[in-house]
Amino acid sequence: MAASLPPPTPSPSLKINSSGSLKTSLNRLFSKTTPSLSKPTWRSLRSTCKSELRSFGDSQNWITVDHFPRADPVRIIHSSPSAAPISMAASASLDSAAKSAKKVCLFYCAETKPLAERIAALSDHIELRSINWRTFADGFPNLFIPNAHGIRGQHVAFLASFSSPGVIFEQLSIIYALPKLFVSSFTLVLPFFPTGTSERMEDEGDVATAFTLARILSNVPISRGGPTSLVTFDIHALQERFYFGDNILPCFESGIPLLKNRLQQLSDSDNISIAFPDDGAWKRFHKQLQHFPTIVCAKVREGDQRIVRLKEGDPRGRHVVIVDDLVQSGGTLIECQKVLAAHGAAKISAYVTHGIFPNKSWERFKHDSGGNPEGGMAYFWITDSCPRTMNEVMNRPPFEVISLANSIAASLLI
């Protein structure tokens, strides 16, 4: 400012109700405190103050306009005894940063506690909250959400694991309760959608349980922020995304980017081919893995048996990685492994997002430390979407667990 301001009069501040006339209030203020200002200086000062105050047009709070001597500009602060002077530009910047830093209260069930802890460790904006998982004498759930008032107005998420029918009801009770506690938004993280393999009816009387579970989740109560968001990984059938109703917002994530990162770390990363055990796996994943040489197998029925055959691609001399969304008994993967080894694969590994392995069927997979691709696998990668399996195979070659924690944390902070 060209001219310096003279010392203020004994009343340097004037409280202004921002719903009143800004021009009248400013004129009254400066007619008392700056009588000797030239007209150009007055216009510059009034313009500065107007620009500083323009964002308060809709505010009903009282503000204080302070007149500081010499070359200091007019500053705006909220009228609070403990408030420190801060410019409007800095205030707007801090408000913007605070708004963009979304904070999430993450609840979890007993099975997902280790994964929840890994997720929270990745960001200061994710805070773990616990639930009291109790039962009555008859075995039915007796549940309690501690400090329920404390999550009012917060973004809330629940990390679920529907590993067996016996644990689904108690978790659904929590899932239905959390959005009704006046939370700003609610996100359900269900890494593995368990009924995905039962998605269609082939004979009259078949029950598509995938559709049943989708309907149950589609009726989760709406929170103050709107419908529930559902985060799930590599759902089994593409059409299952259409099973969900309008009261839930499914976010379909994939573990394939995590696999690609792991493959880049291998010493033979330039000699990898991707094999799909059937056309279904190819449809789900080939676009994400299209920069790798591709091999496609096919299951054909011969009498009562299903035989795996090589449909296209050449595995000779390659490190072949079989990719699918899930594994149960592992029979298809083992048959695919035999076919690839018979056609000259130098090394065979496998990746599935969801390692279900009922009845410890993971024990069928042996480790190939080199030179025996038909009898064992170099690596078998799974994620931590199925906590029970992860605990069983941890530190047991050829198994290696790739955590979904980073992907889940990123989804929660959207």
Q: Are residues 276 and 352 in the same domain?
A: yes
pLDDT of residue 79: 31
Residue type, 231: V
Q: Are residues 225 and 84 in the same domain?
A: no
Domain end marker among 68, 99, 130: 99
Q: Which residues are CB-neighbours of 218 under 8 A, at least 6 positions away?
A: 244, 245, 246, 247, 248
Q: Are residues 176 and 225 in the same domain?
A: yes
Q: What is the signed CA dihedral for 310, 314, 315, 320, rounded to 10 degrees?
A: -90
Domain count, the chain: 3
Q: Are residues 78 and 108 in the same domain?
A: no
> Please, are residues 220 and 248 in contact by the beta-carbon 8 Å criterion?
yes
Give the tokens for residue 4.
């310096």
Domain assignment present for 398? yes
Encode pLDDT of 6-62 as tens digits.
Answer: 554 454 444 444 444 444 444 554 454 444 555 555 455 454 444 444 444 444 444
Domain assignment present for 313? yes
Encode pLDDT of 316-346 as tens digits.
Answer: 999 999 999 999 999 999 999 999 999 999 9
Q: Are residues 340 and 274 in the same domain?
A: yes
- pLDDT of 75 > 70? The answer is no
Q: Are residues 286 and 155 in the same domain?
A: no
First to last CA, the chain: 44
| Residue 227 Cα distances to 28, 109, 186, 188, 190, angstroms | 51, 22, 8, 11, 16
Q: Are residues 340 and 309 in the same domain?
A: yes
Domain assignment present for 5? no
Structural domain boundaries enclosing 25: 13-99
> Please, are residues 381 and 259 in contact by the beta-carbon 8 Å criterion?
yes
Closest CA to 248 of 273, 270, 223: 223
Share of the chain above pLDDT 90, in %: 63
Record the pTM. Answer: 0.74
Q: Are residues 106 and 249 in the same domain?
A: yes
Q: Are residues 168 and 57 in the same domain?
A: no
